[in-house]
Structure 1
Amino acid sequence: MGRRSWRLAPALLMAATAGMLFAVVSSQQPSVLKRGSSLSVERFADDVLISEGGTFKTGFYPVGDNAFAFAVWFTEPANGTVVWMANRDRPVNGRESRLEFRSGQVALIDADGSIVWATNTSDVDGVVAEQMEIGEDGNLVVRDRLGKALWESFDFPTDTLLAFQGMTRSKRLVSRRAAEDYSSGPYQFLFDDDNVLSFLYEGSDLSSIYWPNPDMDIFGNGRTRYNSTKYASFDDLGRFTSSDNLIFSASDVGLKNKRRLTMDYDGVLRLYSLNSTTKSWEVTWLPVLERCRVHGLCGENGICFYNPEPECTCPPGFSMKNRTDWTQGCQPNSKIVCNDSRVQIVKLPHTDFYGYDMSTYKTGVSFEACKNICTSDCKCRGFGYRLDDGSGSCYPKNILFNGQTGPNLLIDIYIKVSSVGNFNNYLEGQFHTDCSLANLSIIRAGVFSSGNVQGDYLKLPVGFVIAIGLVEIICLVFGWAYLHKELGHIHNIGQGYTALRSGFKRFTYKELKRATKNFSSEIGRGGSGVVYKGVLEGEVVAIKRLEDVHHGEAQFWSEVSIIGRINHINLLRLLGFCFEKQSKLLVYEFMENGSLEKNLFNSSSTLAWDNRFNIALGTAKGLAYLHEECLEWVLHCDIKPQNILLDKDFTPKVADFGLSKLLDRGGTNVSSFSRVRGTRGYMAPEWILNQPITSKVDVYSYGILVLEMVTGRSSVGFEQVDDNGEIRSAQLIPWVREMVGTRQQWIEEIADPSLSGIYDKLKMEILVKVALKCVGEERDARPTMSQVVDAITLGCQ
């Protein structure tokens, strides 16, 4: 049987075998396999070893139609989570295969008698392997008669690292191929040649590192190559450390949870913690990495876009190579012949294909010259072009790989296609349509003004727009059924994702009116509406009644579905919504401790230093997720204490991050805000100076927020006793800068008096210095929110 046939199992068989595999097992099952014993694949539900505390099992695991692997998995959740496999790329037959402990080694034997895998611990020089055991830490170990380890699975990881399992120069995590395909995938987590932990895409023809950011040097990414150990690990408290200075902590750091660090099949490394209450895996750390920047996601010629999750499309004149596998990319609909007069250039605005530049021309290259460079070279597949301060930059490409599109990309790609006629097939066979590509311009070789294209050439872009319109109409008609289905289930990767709770739903106005007792318990009020306390299905919730939101039902539902699919521990979770006539309401999780404003500036409430520090860090993490991990165009535009809510443990939750999206869909284009947004005292200079709006406006507001938490003083001004004992008005930013620059004991002088001197001086110094960077007048000099998170985390280790 071929390799692929092992992987693709009928759903019915997998469901049946999984049910047998994870049935309750007798407490008498052993954790040890003795020399001379064996495990049978026919008895896979019973022939398993269980660790002493019951955390792990090892035995035969179904991976396809009549196909099994020898594996180790968590016993919880109920469907099991594989953490190691011996033969992931060569499963054995579901009949007559066995695991034997003979001649000093453990061997996996297929039905035909061939040895598929072995521990290679044959008896040598009196060393005799006596038993194999599964430990409570998940390590499968072969020991001799004295208990010495001769072989252990921790030395041969697959896609997962467990607590206290070290990463070394010889180890790497290799992703699985797909959600239900355990064979080796293209993504790896390893120490590279610079001694730096990196994410590597290892395709059949191409190989490249995509994290840490390849556009920055090692030190710019906060790493160091000067280490000789090449060692990394994390503990059960959720703290990861590495010899290359990669340090991070789980969002639930400090709790002794069951954890795993997995290189998922989408090319992103994630730290998971097992929620002891729900018995489900929750993501508690993941790197700052835009998902479309994962190399190979859409294959050669493919383009990644957000909808709002990453999806793939093919450019005009191309179609999928394999309709079931986007990683194989797109292929031209007809052969592109060099110097053929029918070869044309298609413009893909706000699009880039990362890397594989034939050469880079950065000094004043005109568009026409850039075009000539590519059209005169048969190896050139296309070129990127952008204007930087009036000077053109040209990037000819010999490979179109790692494509992505989005409004924040300040470069356009021009690709070669064979003939106009093939563009009629652009939408055929595409699973998803990216409306940002609706303004694709067709440019004939030698004619670079799309306005000059006449006759049949004009029909094509018009036809394309009409096709897009038809697709949108279909989406509106069938959108409710589709979105209801999509938002009703939990997105799962490797039994590990925890996204929206399945209860996200549409409520009736009558339900919400009854839940709030006719909207009688007001708990908050803002520019976008009033918030009421309510009870739905026994759970306390916050219900916001929106005002002045002029959207149709389909558009409002579309916006809400996007916000509802955003999930992060430091972002307020949307549970549902209501749209009836003129009533538009949003249902959120309830925050027991209210807003940061009430806790910070209320004389009856004193916010402890540890809470303030955790609020600063958590808020930064939430904003970093919005800016760089979730949807690249999501800006908050109104960061202030009123929009930072605190749960019962004072964990911060950024609220109202969907406001600009709900009020103005045009806000997805960062340069086209129709009016000033934000609150006096927290607004970046760009708003007043009418400059382009980017994520740095949120960085500025965040800096103000941190200064307020540290000093206990308002951003709009306060009264201060000067050195002469006179009371004078002061502004927050200039005052803090003056204190830092002129006073030796500046921390003591600016610290909020309500803290009574109880604070961590080092952490306060770091927060203040980071905040002052954030409130810089020049937006380009401000850090990104991910850099803020790193600065706080690394500085306070």
Structure 2
Amino acid sequence: MITISPGQGLSGNQTLVSKGGNFELGFFSPGNSHKYYIGIWYKKIPQKDVIWVGNRINPISNPSTSLLKLSNNGNLVLFNQSGSPVWSSNSTVSTSNSTFAELLDNGNLVIRNNSNFSTPIWQTFEHPSHTWMPGAPLGVNKLTGEFQALTSWKSSEDPSPGLFSLSLALNRSSQLVELYNSSLIYASTGVWNGQFFNSLEKVFMEKNIFNFSFVDNEEQKYATYIVDDPSMIIYILMDPSGQVKQFSWLSDKKEWLLNCNQPPALCDVYSACGAFGVCHQRTSLYCSCFVGYQPVSNKEWDLGAWSSGCSRKTSFQCNDKNNISTGDGFLEMSMVRLPSNPQNLAAAQSAEECEQACRKQCSCTAYAFDGQCSIWNGDLHNVKQLHDGLAGTLYLRLAASDIPSPFPTNSQAELEPEFIFTGVAGLIVLVSFLVFVGLIWVHRKRPSARIAMQLAEGSLIPFTYSDLQRMTKNFSDILGRGGFGSVFKGALPDSTTIAVKKLEGWRQGEKQFRTEVITLGSLQHVNLVRLRGFCCEANKRLLAYDYMAGGSLDTHLFRSSKVLDWETRFEIILGVARALAYLHENCRECIIHCDIKPENILLDNELKPKVADFGMAKLIGRDFSRVLTTTRGTLGYLAPEWLLGLPISSKVDVYSFGMMLFELISGGRNSNQSEINENIDYFPFRVACQLIEGDDNHIGDLLDKRLQGEANLVQVKRICTVACWCIQDWEVDRPSMGHVLRILEGAVDATTPPVPRLLLHLAES
């Protein structure tokens, strides 16, 4: 059958085939489910790969007694074996005689009317299920408000809607986002800049096999793509795992090739393993349940769909009358990414108090203490096993019977080595042990020799407090004070000058502090201040860095009589961008600086930039907002996420970097309150308007007057453009630091950015 006319329909094994034989529509049953759906699949490919499903929510049990029918009013309806409608296209036309349904060779099922053949009354491309086909729109109908979105299957054998979707951003900004439960964004294409999506070109476009485009008119706003080679069979799928996957058909091998995933790593999908599941990036199993839990659906887990999560084996022994746990315990889960959405309890000042706070609530399922108390009520989502210093420790509440025994079994005990000193061999071991203890004693008595040896090895040095006290002459030469503590000048035994920072407001325990410091000490980049060593002794926390003789950038920009020339400023911008791109994208775990400003950019003797205080947020503890830079005047350096209490990502650094770029261009503070009161000509707003106007002849007017026009105006415009993209209101509209760096280096062009709404509000005020 080629078309369906009014009154006609499909039943049983009958199908509708496209004119060229590429696609087929009919009834199918996935796997061994014994449930039937109306769907469209590739006809020329051996396996039945379904690209669209109609009755996802209401399957039928018998296709032979069911009917897909085009009614006289132009509505396509699926009736089950009882004659009840279970799915409808909800399309109606006034003239029905000339209406028909047709399956096109691109996989699109359309309902047309001969009186207006070119414009379909209804089409599956505008009502997708889980697959995005070439030429199909993914966006919003501005007239009806209806979004076209992909929604994953629950599993490979269950087409009912899953938890993951791909859609135009709900605020209708020009980007696609991946959503958990239709609300939480966990991945984004980045904003459409006129040529490509900012964050997508490396992932989906490097294969150079298809091209995206973006349409925004009075009726619709949507993204679409076309395949460069018409002979290639390609589609994009919202997978049950939560990853968007792009496939192409290999005709010679008769199989699908997975070209790429977005996000690339499964564990970057929000709650990929569901409630009470742990994601393991380094194993082929990917997901496992917490101790004391089991999969909600073993069948779905066997099919690689883990989002259904896990359920508790044994209920809590909690007395609901006084809301206190009586027979429960806590299992330590170390080296994990902590669950999302904790409740922070400032009143609990110790791990013991934090545990008791959790015990007093029957709904509390876990707690963590890293200087502050966090507890979780109900389901735990988004936990990942980590293997480095960025991990945390979670204490999972379990029924006492589900907590593993801390004592080894007999078989384990047999494997433990026994150290028994007997005879000559025992004497040798004992003498060796005494020599080892003696060496330790000598090194402790001769700290300079110990430190000199570690300096020669180039390793991170664990200083004692007395070491640093002696090197800084009892902390007598203060270099400055900041949000994280005071900094003192000192010298190592080899006369190398160092800067020693005494941390204030730290909230970490000793073990976690040492872990975080070791991680930071392993970072090596020419534009990061080198961490030489640390002290973690009793209640003292200190860090020793290389001394930067050039001082901080703010001194040169705002308080020095000597003017930084444009070439130096541009090299500083490039250096800071490279450092942030390294922290965000080249470390094993993304490190967010959280406090980018001129005061934290230090310069060496040759005025080369080095970013300081990176990773400090982790060292201080999770509640570090009080030690961050405060807003100066109107906007300062803080991204809107901070002010709105939204989740923080690496894009807060991008925002701060953008605000700092304005200051490097103008040579003055963005947020000088007295100047703003007298003159509403706020510099970032002025730059944004200049770019919108497109008058390149006046770009030089934005420059620091002290430069007297001595600058590369092409670079000036490029930096102005980057700065305005960096301070966009929504983090998904801002480019990554890697993309920023490519623009600054001239490898990628940037389109004109829109004026951020915050700047517009400032101007209107």
TM-score (norm 1): 0.46
TM-score (norm 2): 0.48
